[in-house]
Amino acid sequence: MESSKRSGYETLSIGYLLIAFAVSFLIAWVADDWILLIPIFLLASGVYYFALGAMVQPTEKGVKPSMRDSVFYLFWGGTLVLVGAIWLLNREFPGNVPLLVALFIIWVGAYIVVLSIPKLRGRA
């Protein structure tokens, strides 16, 4: 059962990513700025994976909570959104690279802290 559910998520992901790429392509074409293709695609795919991670039921038995598919989708979806947003922000407001790098490091650090809280509760 778990294998067919995972296959369904993969098929859904491929379809959505093709649509997101086409939309990103059209936006870059209309804006006549082809470099926009990458950050817009990162934003669209990141929002999808973040939403998928929020909706996926954690049904995996015997798997640590930090290793479940939903955690994976939430982390990488949020990371893709953040990288796309950083790209667009740096494009609009150049010269803020240290601030944007710090924002990315804070994101990764905050996610690590959130993942470690259940482990600390289990030891208390």
What does the pLDDT average to over 70-97? 88
In this prediction, residue 1 has a pLDDT band, given cuts at 50, 70 and 90, of very low
**Residue 97 neighbours by CB under 8 Å, 6+ apart:** 90
Q: According to the model, what pLDDT value does residue 70 have?
A: 78
- How many CB atoms sit inside 10 A of residue 27's CB? 15
| pLDDT number for residue 64 | 57
Q: At residue 21, does pLDDT exceed 80?
A: yes
Distance CA 2, CA 34 (A): 40
76 C-beta neighbours (distance < 10 Å), count: 15
Q: What is the pLDDT of residues 46-65, one digit of tens each?
A: 999 988 888 876 665 555 55
H/E segment holding residue 113: helix 97-123
Domain range list for the chain? 2-123
Higher pLDDT pick, 62 / 86: 86
Q: What is the pTM of this model?
A: 0.77
Higher confidence at residue 8 or residue 73? 73
Rg (CA), the chain: 17
